[in-house]
Chains A and B, each alone.
Chain A
Amino acid sequence: MAVAAADQIRSPATTYLICAAAWALPGAGHLWLGRRRKGFIFLITLPLMFACGLWLEGRLFPFEPSQPLVALAAFADIGMGIPYLVAKAMNQGAGRAIAATFEYGNAFLIVAGLLNMLVVLDAFDVAQGRK
């Protein structure tokens, strides 16, 4: 049943809607496409990794065009979707540069966002019938 739902080729509008859902909530795209096992793995793992990044006192970088590396890190952070927006709204992710775990926290936050971008691309491929 799940495979049948995933094998169906969708219209471009639906595909982009699935990608938007996959970005907003990690794993939502796969859950939508009937790939429940993968969807739940992403739904649990990626927000947990993001939360660990905040716990390790990493920083959610601001968009600063004058500092390209900071802007790239901010772009990666925002790949996390709603958890990123919630953390920002709760004033989390200020970062503490003198903490021993600061760089680890940054790595967790940035990589969680980048991994979610890969998950979005995978959901796109599945929606297009390529996988």
Chain B
Amino acid sequence: MTSHLGAMILFALFVSIVFAALMRDEPREQWRFGLRLFGGLVGGGILAGWLLYPLPF
């Protein structure tokens, strides 16, 4: 879990749980919002990593 990917996934998990609980009231809506946010954070992080990969700095 101390790898870059592991830390990012753990971070996304915590942030998704808290925002889902804050932004939605119904449990079903919280699950949907939380899963979408988690996927967006992890997917966005991986995509940004690949986009930045060719940069020389």
Contact = CB atoms under 8 A, between A and B. Distances in A.
B17 A45 contact: yes
B15 to A, nearest CB: 7
B23 to A, nearest CB: 9
A46 B21 CA distance: 12
A81 B5 CA distance: 29
Contacts of B22: 38, 118-119, 122
Nearest to A115: B18
Contact of A41 (B10, B11, B15, B17): B17
A101 interface: yes
A108 B8 CA distance: 10
A31 interface: no
Interface residues of B, number: 13
- The dominant DSSP class at the B interface is helix
A122 B11 CA distance: 21
A111 B11 contact: yes
B11 A104 contact: yes
Residues of A contacting B: mostly: helix
Interface residues of A, number: 21
B7 A56 contact: yes
Interface in B15-38: 15, 17-18, 21-22, 27
Given A41-B21, A42-B21, A104-B7, 7 more contacts: A41-B18, A46-B18, A49-B14, A107-B11, A115-B15, A118-B22, A119-B18
Interface of B: 2, 4, 7-8, 10-11, 14-15, 17-18, 21-22, 27
15 contacts: A37-B27, A38-B21, A38-B22, A42-B21, A45-B14, A46-B18, A49-B18, A52-B10, A101-B2, A104-B7, A104-B8, A112-B14, A115-B18, A119-B22, A122-B22
